[in-house]
Amino acid sequence: MSANTHNFPAQLPLPIDPRTPSRFGGSRKAASTLAALPLRGVLSDVPKVGLTDVCLSYRTQTGERMLALDHINLQVKAGEFLCIVGPSGCGKSTLLHLIAGLHQPSSGEILVDGKPVEGPGTDRILIFQELGLFPWLTVGNNVQFGMKMKGVGKAEREEKTRYYLRLVHLLQFKDSYTHQLSGGMRQRVALARALATEPDVLLMDEPFAALDAQTRDLLHDELERIWTETGRTIIFVTHNVREAIRLGDRVALLTFRPGRVKREFPVDLPRPRTLEDPTVAHAAGEVLSELREEIDRSLEAEYSTGLKPRIEAGVQS
Amino acid sequence: MKRALRLTVFYAGLFGVWTLLAELKIWPPYLFPTPRGVGEALYAGFQDHSFLIAIAVSMRRVLIGYGISVVLGMILGLGLGTSKFLEETMGGLLVSLQSLPSICWWPLALLWFGLSQNAILFVVVMGSLLSVTLAMEDGRKQMPKIYSMAGRNLGASGFQLFWYVLLPASLPFIVSGLKQGWAFAWRSLITAEMLYLSLGLGQILMMGRDLNDMSAVIAVMILIIAIGYVVDGLVFKSMESRLQRRWGLTSST
């Protein structure tokens, strides 16, 4: 499909149009009830990850309730690469934390393979924005940490560690400590650590935001290659629209405070793509025009509370 | 090199002043022993194995007492650092207890445990437990939250999370508290040993007093200082530098 035909909202097939929440939510509920029945195998298209009316509110320091996420409905197919974009403060990271099971939603339902999420689980691994690599462990031990927690035997752990380190081209750094590596290398260690736990779903929280352009381009290629090779489902949060179009099968746009799914954009451009492809730029432009409104609102809110506005690199390109 | 020279000059000077004062015989030797007398006392003590036995007994006690403190203190500290309720209630009590010299527990320890090694251990534990607890609480709070989230995310929970994530993640923040706990444990032990005939270094020191043998007293003092210094240098210094290297806190990579 050429980028010109991206007249997104009107012709979208039903399951990815969030603007019909009642039909959408209704059908989801029916599906999840069915999924609990033994008939489940018949339903070939149980989404890998399904969010139904997920809300999250919290109490601020001044004591008022703040709605961070407002009735989020999202379905992610097995093996799909979904990108979530939105201005800072729209709750995209929080959404990943909820799917990872690190926090509980205030209301709504999060299903993975039709089963509700009740806590962290190694079927869903989150790569944090700040990575959270363990500085007291070597690269190799970081990578095999999840397997060790699962009780995988030493020989198998060693073998898989070598496999995944080779996959991210870091095998020769197996015995280094993380502070001895560059930012891009650490990013790859985090990726290997997440993959080595062999999750079905990989949750990535702005993983490449702090990297220089060359490293980021390389990691885009590597991530796409690994995704193709391993067939994982990936939910990728970013504030960079071009990056989202470059990587995603689909891009979901969140609104600013409270976070809602404003619109979803399927990306049917042929792979491999690059950030410089005119078609990528064109598709990004369409998402961006929708996003700009939200960025303006976020900047306004940040100015009015006297905070320094965070103008995001990559968004305006 | 320069540092070694400065140290040599300093200690040679100190030794010289001591020798000079002793040789001038301003005070009788039983009040102010000569370096030679102290050296002989040290030699004699090692010769008849009494010092070696005392060191072994004292080290065993301090290791047991300190070990108990570290385990209890880490559990307590982790609780305090995690639960707001515990922090508000017990936290204040612990801080105020820190101003109490541990030997004040001696009368109670005697009543509870009798004239036994356990009474000494109790005093040692009371001496070092608070430092370890407060250090662990502080470490738990200072530790970046990301580590515990990452650990849970990778499937660690309960004891695994504590042992493989929370403990190593807080080590750089608690190592100084562990060190302080060790110093308190060592001091409490010697104090308690001085009050009770019990073989350890403290008792030998008191024996020197009873025999009016100040050379032996100073010899034992030197031993106590030396052991404290060696443990600090060998165990804690190397632990600190190892941590710093691993965490990348030193510039020399």
pLDDT given at position A24? 39
Q: Which of B154, B168, B253 sits opposite A149 (nearest CB)?
A: B154
Terminal C-alpha separation, chain A: 23
Alpha-carbon distance of B190 to B202, in angstroms, equals 5
* Within a domain: A184: yes
Quick check: B251 contacting A, CB < 8 Å? Answer: no
pLDDT lower than 50: segments of chain A: 1-44, 308-309, 311-317
Nearest-5° angle of CA A275, CA A212, CA A241? 35
Half-sphere exposure of residue A203, counting CA atoms within 13 Å on the CB side?
Answer: 26
- All domains in chain B, ordered by first residue: 36-240 (1.10.3720.10)
- List residues of A whose CB lies inside 8 A of any B CB: 100, 102, 120-122, 125-126, 128, 130-137, 145-146, 148-150, 177-180, 193, 197
pLDDT in the model for residue A16: 40
Name the residue among A252, A151, A125, A137 with its Cα closest to residue A186: A137
How far is the alpha carbon of B153 from chain A, nearest alpha carbon, in Å? 6
Q: Is residue A175 situated within a structural domain?
A: yes
List the structure tokens of B242.
Answer: 């190892």
- What interhelical angle do B50-82 and B35-47 show, nearest 10? 90
Q: A70: left (phi > 0), else alpha (psi -120 to 50), else beta?
A: beta
Angle at B169 (CA atoms; ends A142, A202), nearest 5 degrees: 40
pLDDT, average across residues B198-218: 86
pTM for the full model? 0.70
* B10 vs A231, higher pLDDT: B10
Interchain contact, A136 vs B246, CB within 8 Å: yes
- What is the pLDDT averaged over residues B50-70? 91
Domain count across chain A: 1
Q: Tell me how close the Cα of B137 comes to any Cα of chain A, in angstroms.
A: 20
Residue A158 belongs to a domain: yes
Answer yes or no: do B153 and A100 touch at CB < 8 A. Answer: yes
Please tell me the distance from the alpha carbon of residue B19 to that of residue B179, in angstroms, as a whole number: 34
pLDDT the model gives residue A7: 40
The whole-angstrom separation of Cα B238 and Cα B253 is 16
Check residue B138 and give its pLDDT: 84
Q: Can you tell me the distance from the alpha carbon of B212 to that of B28, in angstroms, rounded to the nearest whole number?
A: 12
Mark yes or no for CB contact A126/B147 under 8 Å. Answer: no
**Is the CB of A145 less than 8 angstroms away from the CB of B164?**
yes
The rounded Cα B237 to chain-centroid distance in angstroms is 13
On the CB side of A170, CA atoms within 13 Å amount to: 31
Give A232-298 as a DSSP string: -EEEEEES-HHHHHHH-SEEEEEPSSSB-EEEEEE--PPSS--TT-HHHHHHHHHHHHHHHHHHHHH
CB nearest A136 (choices: B150, B160, B247): B247
The pLDDT of residue A306 is: 52
CA distance readout (Å), A153 to A145, A146, A171, B150 = 12, 12, 20, 22
The nearest CA of chain B is from the CA of A281 a distance in Å of 35
B250 to chain A: closest CA residue: A179
Q: With contacts defined as CB-CB under 8 Å, which chain A residues touch B164?
A: 145, 148-149
C-alpha A201 chain-centroid distance = 9
Q: Is B99 helix (H, G, I), strand (E, B) or coil?
A: coil
In a domain, A51, yes or no: no
Whether B2 has a pLDDT exceeding 90, the answer reads: no
Q: Which domain holds residue A147?
A: 135-197
Whether ipTM tops 0.85, in short, is no
> How far A100 CA lies from chain B's nearest CA (Å)?
7
Judge: B156–A149 Cβ closer than 8 Å, yes or no.
yes
Identify any residues that bridge with B61 across adjacent strands, giving them in sequence order.
none
- According to the model, what pLDDT value does residue A289 have? 82
- A179–B168: do the CB atoms touch at under 8 Å? no
Run of H or E including A59: strand A49-59
Please tell me which of the candidates A128, A150, A193 has its beta carbon nearest to residue B146.
Answer: A128
| Residue at A13 is within a domain | no
CA–CA separation, A198 vs B203, rounded Å?
61
Q: Which two tokens stand for residue B38?
A: 């102290």
Q: Report yes or no on A154 lying in a domain.
A: yes
Nearest to B147 among A132, A146, A148 (CB): A132
CA–CA separation, A62 and A78 (whole Å) = 42
Helix axes B214-231, B50-82, angle to 10 degrees: 40
Task: Tell me whether residues B247 and A135 touch, CB distance under 8 A.
Answer: yes
Inside any domain, residue A181: yes
Q: How open is the CA angle A77-A79-A83, to the nearest 5 degrees?
A: 75
Sorting pLDDT into bands at 50, 70 and 90, what band is B210? Answer: confident
Which chain B residues are within 8 Å of A150, Cβ to Cβ? 155
Question: How far apart are alpha carbons A294 and B86 in whole angstroms?
Answer: 43
Q: Which residues of A are less than 8 Å from B248 in CB distance?
A: 135, 177-180
A18 within domain boundaries: no
CA distance B165 to chain A (A): 8
Q: Which two tokens stand for residue A66?
A: 């703040």
CA–CA gap between residue A288 and residue A315 (Å, rounded):
7
Average pLDDT over all residues of chain B: 86
pLDDT band, very low/low/confident/very high, at B69 (cuts 50, 70, 90): very high
One-letter amino acid at A22 equals: S
C-alpha closest to that of B54 among B220, B234, B215, B231: B220
The answer to whether the CB atoms of A134 and B247 lie below 8 A apart is no
Instruction: Inform me whether the pLDDT recorded for B33 exceeds 60.
Output: yes
